[in-house]
Amino acid sequence: MCRVKPRIGLATAIFAALAIAGSIVSIEGHAARAKPRPNVIVIETDDQTLEEMRVMRNTLALIGQQGTTFDNNFVTLSLCCPSRSTFLTGQYAHNHGVLTNSMPNGGFDKLDHSNTLAVWLQKAGYNTALVGKYLNGYKLADGIPPGWTEWHAGVNLGYFNWTMNEQGLLVHYGSRPQDYQTSVLSQKAVEVIDRRVPESKPLFMWVTYHAPHGGGPAEPDDPKGIGTVNTGPYRDHFSSEALPNMPSLNEADVSDKPAGIRNRPVLTAQKIAAIREAYQQQIESLLSVDDGVKVIVDALRAKGELDNTLLVFTDDNGFFHGQHRVPSGKVLLYEPSIRVPLLMRGPGVPKNRHLKQMTANIDLAPTIVDAANAKAGRVMDGKSLLPLLARPSTQWGRDLLIERGPAGAKRAGTATGEIGNGDDGNQGKTAAPGDQRFAGLRTPRFLYAEYGNGEKELYDLARDPDELNNLAGNSS
């Protein structure tokens, strides 16, 4: 196992003021004993687009305005399990080996759980907690993976009538309003904070909401043929909301696109209406997540630990709502699929700042390892964001790999129907032929990709941010 030496210097300097042994400091009006290293809480959603951040007023105010927003943040493989495995390793998917959501090329069983961020932080003296969704394919028989002090993981993830593995005990939640999954996860996160942050060890907690990912139980009037979301307390809150007005919506001319897009039919008015309703449900479900962000922040404040907590909000992959004729899903290389939110507040994080440098999910584990002064057990592909926070004018001097591996095995009961609409990211029976693995390069200005069948795409994002004109093979 290759070990990377811990970064010592910047992280130590940022948090040195909090490391005075035995000192008592006043935080948010409460007396609290300073820990030598910060708590780290990462809040992650599933299938959220950057555009949908606009409805999350608590998150924007409590994390964005009180910290830094990374305006150009990406996922390097836009699918749940590969992206979450990247978070746990700091590696591109082709390096950690989880290329899709199910075996033989991905899923829970494909990742080496003995060598993850949780293991590294626990060895560094952190209490560690998982609350919510872990990796696709996780089941009760898998037990609690190494590195986790507390384990509150969803075994199945409907919004009502769902089951959680709570420290090895299977607990079922029913159909009462208080059983709504997002609300339960927020409550569990607060309980972990109340129990763990008074301890001498710092806390690392990964709160992984299933929202706004599709999930039931379905409502009788839900549209057919597209994934919908049970929105619980916020049902019909955005029932009059329009789809985002993007030039790529139901793209008129796709003759220059690869076969997977070129062979797609124009979306009908009925299909667009269904996409719109699914979109409305997604943003309605995010309001419960937004409530959760507030109660987590309030709990940290009540314990006097808010100022000593690195708080991160992000998402595992983007999502399509009709752009390029793709009704729903992810895994493709276009901006709605790969661009996701990243907001951060805490010690050493400038307030109310926006940074334009390209960042990605490969950077989260290196940042947390740096802040915790821990030792990574892998050679990570990402970079710590702490130097960028300290020196915002820094230019990274790097581009990002965007990739898609082979599809996973189709699981019984998985509703796909569109690219990535189910958890496997497979093509359903209505998906157009030609969608396949690719390797792409995302630079600050260009996106270039080559497909397994030889097709290519090239976009000048400065002139064509909606990726309408494929320049590959065009010498003009």
The full set of domains in the chain, from first to last, is 10-20+33-393 (3.40.720.10)
Nearest Cα residue to 68 out of 254, 417, 310, 301: 310
How does pLDDT run across 67-118, given as a tens digit for each residue? 999 999 999 999 999 999 999 999 999 999 999 999 999 999 999 999 999 9
Percent of the chain with pLDDT over 70: 86
Mean pLDDT of 31-39: 70
Give the angle 406-409-412 at the CA atoms, nearest 5°: 150
Is residue 38 a contact partner of residue 414, using CB atoms and an 8 Å limit? no
Catalytic residue from among 53, 55, 56, 80? 80
Q: Which long-range contacts (CB under 8 A, 24 or more apart) does 233-238 make?
A: 233/177, 233/180, 233/183, 233/287, 233/288, 234/284, 234/285, 234/287, 234/288, 235/284, 236/284, 237/284, 237/287, 238/55, 238/280, 238/283, 238/284
* pLDDT at 7 > cutoff 50: no
Sign of CA dihedral 170, 316, 210, 208: positive
* pLDDT at 323 > cutoff 50: yes
81-95, 178-192, 193-207, 386-400, range with the lowest pLDDT: 386-400
**What is the length of the chain?**
476
How does pLDDT run across 105-136, given as a tens digit for each residue? 999 999 999 999 999 999 999 999 999 999 99
Give the angle 66-69-74 at the CA atoms, nearest 5°: 150
pLDDT at position 436 is 82
Is residue 351 a contact partner of residue 67, using CB atoms and an 8 Å limit? yes
pLDDT at position 408 is 58
* pLDDT at 423 > cutoff 50: no
Mean pLDDT of 46-50: 98
Across-strand partners of 323?
Answer: 249
Half-sphere exposure of 211 (CA within 13 A, CB side): 33
How does pLDDT run across 297-312, given as a tens digit for each residue? 999 999 999 999 999 9
How does pLDDT run across 365-416, given as a tens digit for each residue? 999 999 999 999 999 999 999 999 999 998 888 999 999 988 755 543 333 2
**From CA 299, how far away is CA 191, in angstroms rounded?**
9
**What single DSSP character describes residue 346?**
S
**From CA 109, how far away is CA 138, in angstroms rounded?**
8
Is residue 232 a contact partner of residue 177, using CB atoms and an 8 Å limit? yes
pLDDT tier at 8 (50, 70, 90 boundaries)? very low
Q: How far is CA 313 from CA 70, 218, 296, 316, in A?
A: 11, 28, 12, 11
Amino acid at 183: S
> Which alpha helices (H) appear in 220-363, and where do they start and end?
259-262, 269-302, 335-338
pLDDT at position 376 is 98
Phi, psi (degrees; rounded to nearest 5) at 458: -145, 125
Mean pLDDT of 184-194: 98
Mean pLDDT of 225-248: 96
For residue 80, indicate whether it is catalytic: yes
Rg of the chain, C-alpha, whole Å: 21
Across-strand partners of 286?
Answer: none
How does pLDDT run across 465-474, given as a tens digit for each residue? 999 999 996 5
User: Residue 339: left if φ>0, alpha if ψ -120 to 50, beta else—which one?
Assistant: beta
**From CA 211, how far away is CA 285, in angstroms rounded?**
6
How does pLDDT run across 429-471, given as a tens digit for each residue? 333 445 589 999 999 999 999 999 999 999 999 999 999 999 9
pLDDT at position 414 is 34
Phi, psi (degrees; rounded to nearest 5) at 118: -60, -40
Is residue 40 a contact partner of residue 312, using CB atoms and an 8 Å limit? yes
pLDDT at position 242 is 97
SS3 195: helix
pLDDT at position 356 is 96
